[in-house]
Chain A
């Protein structure tokens, strides 16, 4: 082989390695990390724990997907966590209230609970979306405002206490039940992921979101109804948050005013670690799910390896910064 050709081949492999790492780096990191945890604590790779990880992932995956939809448009939703709390409390109140009034009509109570949740999701999403797209208030400020508003509503209607006595049937439906042997939360998460994947790839609305985030001016010049789509993106986000909130409520068996505590930051971190770009325009349901899996596996492994909770927090912070840095490199590769 002549020297320039060899050099070209070297550059080619270098680029190929970079490309491979850009695409599959997170999976490699995940495998390495799990292997590392398994050396410290073999239980990490036991079938029971792996199933546990998958179950845990399904919640974060739904929230990360919700967040991804608005990050695509170059925004984010800080109100996601408190929206989750509000939905949890409100749905629990509606269900317990209706069951107390008329114990015979359980299915109606469950349906009304779910409808309340979706209604609140739509309302919060509309508020965020309209403030951002029509009133042109910055996404940070708007969702900071609705964060406060939702927090206030959740603690006011519940009086700051958990709402107990959520019908057992609800928990069976969305938590302990299985469909073809697959746990209900996993089924819901998969349905959500596939739904959002189809929406982003097969509908005009979904495909427009990437353009609106990637290049707002081009989107406007192309004649897209940007305001309407932007509003719809926030509605989709909050509705997904409501679905996640129902899943969590079914798990705890009560409506919790503090349910969404860490959800906002966790969802943003998971989406970004999965490769959703905060500069907008880049993201997929797959990325959100992968990021959620990584974050869950990390905290699961650190827990089993008995790493101090405070140190876990420090490590998570480092991982977030590292993930963003990798994202930076990745955009250089493209």
Chain B
């Protein structure tokens, strides 16, 4: 919403041309988001209920974190199909480690929590490292690598649990962390805001961010300019894996059990969020603030369809249409800008 406000102020001064330029800069997403929210507030009183707002915020924060990781990989011109599997694996491993540690020494609760979190984050780190190494060093197509690691990670998660949820995590982890409300908002909201700011700063203010964009834009050029492309490619995949693990920790803490089937649609949704936000699948283009907006948009849209009691099967149809339409519109807009520039 902030970017819409930013876009609107020069537009008022500069007239129609500036408005057009501003719209092209921020895209139609913020406008769409505002329209959606206004319609919901006007016509669906339950939308503004505290319970519902919390729900939407929780869901969107999980999606925002995964999607910003996915964005980093998309920006370097890749894909990560394994985020869903990483979420599942992290959830299972975290719960298992905590339960085992707690059983061994019931008094060492902080120790158990720390070990569980470390083990969970390690899952994302290792998977990301393998993905990145295969893509960067062995030059294997990201689609296939992450398809393979996704199959492996899901297999390991199911093998560890036999598909049965893992219980026995410390109560404090669930009550004081997973389901905590800080200053009137659910805890994941703060975590996701923190991550968004971190990624934004990295993208905009650091050489790491600039190199990652340079690699996605043109690997050859980046390499010739002396960028250690392999390192930054691996870094992007590793960060993506770790952000997926972080999401999983939040979800696991909320649920109170480790589940091998937890990821649901998050993998596809994270890519959809990136694509709707205008992240180019050819690499080099992507802004984390737009990704956050589109994650919020998708979450609110799903929530709206639930509130309107739209059949879940029809919801999937609708989601499919929205994703394709968003990208098609974006492509059309880009083509028009290019034509205008050329003429």
Nearest B residue to A150 by beta-carbon distance?
B320
Taking a contact as CB atoms under 8 Å apart, the answer to whether B138 and A141 are in contact is no
Nearest A residue to B85 by beta-carbon distance?
A317
1/0 contact string of B264-282 vs chain A (CB within 8 Å): 0000100110010000010
- Smallest distance from the beta carbon of B148 to chain A beta carbons, Å? 4
Taking a contact as CB atoms under 8 Å apart, the answer to whether B328 and A137 are in contact is yes
B42 on interface, CB distance cutoff 8 Å: no
Whether A314 touches B155, Cβ cut-off 8 Å, given contacts A278-B141, A321-B149, A324-B145, is yes
Taking a contact as CB atoms under 8 Å apart, the answer to whether B271 and A156 are in contact is no
Q: How many residues of B contact A (CB 8 A)?
A: 42
Taking a contact as CB atoms under 8 Å apart, the answer to whether B139 and A328 are in contact is yes
1/0 contact string of A142-160 vs chain B (CB within 8 Å): 1011111101110110001
The CA of A269 and the CA of B150, in the complex, are separated in Å by 13
Partner of B317, one of A138, A149, A310, A318: A149
* Most central of B79, B143, B313, B314 by chain A CB within 10 Å: B313
Taking a contact as CB atoms under 8 Å apart, the answer to whether A135 and B331 are in contact is yes
Nearest A residue to B272 by beta-carbon distance?
A144
Interface size class of A (residues with CB under 8 A): 35 or more
The CA of A101 and the CA of B126, in the complex, are separated in Å by 59
* Most central of B317, B324, B335 by chain A CB within 10 Å: B324
Taking a contact as CB atoms under 8 Å apart, the answer to whether A265 and B320 are in contact is no
A308 on interface, CB distance cutoff 8 Å: yes
The CA of A155 and the CA of B312, in the complex, are separated in Å by 10
The CA of A250 and the CA of B311, in the complex, are separated in Å by 30
- Chain A hits for B317, CB < 8 A: 148-149, 151-153, 156
- Chain A hits for B151, CB < 8 A: 265, 313-314, 316-317, 320
| 14 A-B pairs (CB sep. < 8 Å) | A131-B328, A135-B332, A137-B324, A138-B327, A141-B275, A152-B320, A153-B317, A265-B147, A314-B155, A316-B151, A321-B134, A321-B145, A324-B145, A328-B139
1/0 contact string of B140-170 vs chain A (CB within 8 Å): 1101110111111011101100000000000
A136 on interface, CB distance cutoff 8 Å: yes
- Smallest distance from the beta carbon of A155 to chain B beta carbons, Å? 4
A279 on interface, CB distance cutoff 8 Å: yes
The CA of A147 and the CA of B268, in the complex, are separated in Å by 11
A72 on interface, CB distance cutoff 8 Å: no
B224 on interface, CB distance cutoff 8 Å: no
- Chain B hits for A279, CB < 8 A: 141
Taking a contact as CB atoms under 8 Å apart, the answer to whether B331 and A145 are in contact is no
Taking a contact as CB atoms under 8 Å apart, the answer to whether B158 and A310 are in contact is yes
- Chain B hits for A135, CB < 8 A: 328, 331-332
- Chain A hits for B321, CB < 8 A: 145, 149
The CA of A149 and the CA of B325, in the complex, are separated in Å by 13
1/0 contact string of A259-284 vs chain B (CB within 8 Å): 00000010011001000001100000
- Smallest distance from the beta carbon of B159 to chain A beta carbons, Å? 4
Instruction: List A residues at the B interface (Cβ < 8 Å).
Output: 76, 131, 135-138, 140-142, 144-149, 151-153, 155-156, 160, 265, 268-269, 272, 278-279, 308, 310-314, 316-318, 320-321, 324-325, 328
Whether A318 touches B315, Cβ cut-off 8 Å, given contacts A149-B321, A278-B143, A324-B144, is no
- Chain B hits for A131, CB < 8 A: 324, 328
- Smallest distance from the beta carbon of A53 to chain B beta carbons, Å? 22
Instruction: List B residues at the A interface (Cβ < 8 Å).
Output: 79, 134, 138-141, 143-145, 147-152, 154-156, 158-159, 268, 271-272, 275, 281, 311, 313-321, 323-324, 327-328, 331-332, 335
- Chain B hits for A138, CB < 8 A: 275, 281, 327
Taking a contact as CB atoms under 8 Å apart, the answer to whether B152 and A318 are in contact is yes
Partner of B331, one of A136, A146, A148, A156: A136
- Smallest distance from the beta carbon of A331 to chain B beta carbons, Å? 10
Nearest B residue to A273 by beta-carbon distance?
B144
- Chain A hits for B335, CB < 8 A: 136
Taking a contact as CB atoms under 8 Å apart, the answer to whether A272 and B144 are in contact is yes
- Smallest distance from the beta carbon of A137 to chain B beta carbons, Å? 5
Partner of A145, one of B148, B149, B154, B323: B323
The CA of A153 and the CA of B313, in the complex, are separated in Å by 7
Nearest A residue to B154 by beta-carbon distance?
A313
- Chain A hits for B323, CB < 8 A: 141, 144-145, 148
Nearest A residue to B141 by beta-carbon distance?
A278
The CA of A318 and the CA of B152, in the complex, are separated in Å by 7
- Smallest distance from the beta carbon of A307 to chain B beta carbons, Å? 11
- Smallest distance from the beta carbon of A256 to chain B beta carbons, Å? 15
Taking a contact as CB atoms under 8 Å apart, the answer to whether B268 and A144 are in contact is yes
Taking a contact as CB atoms under 8 Å apart, the answer to whether B316 and A152 are in contact is yes
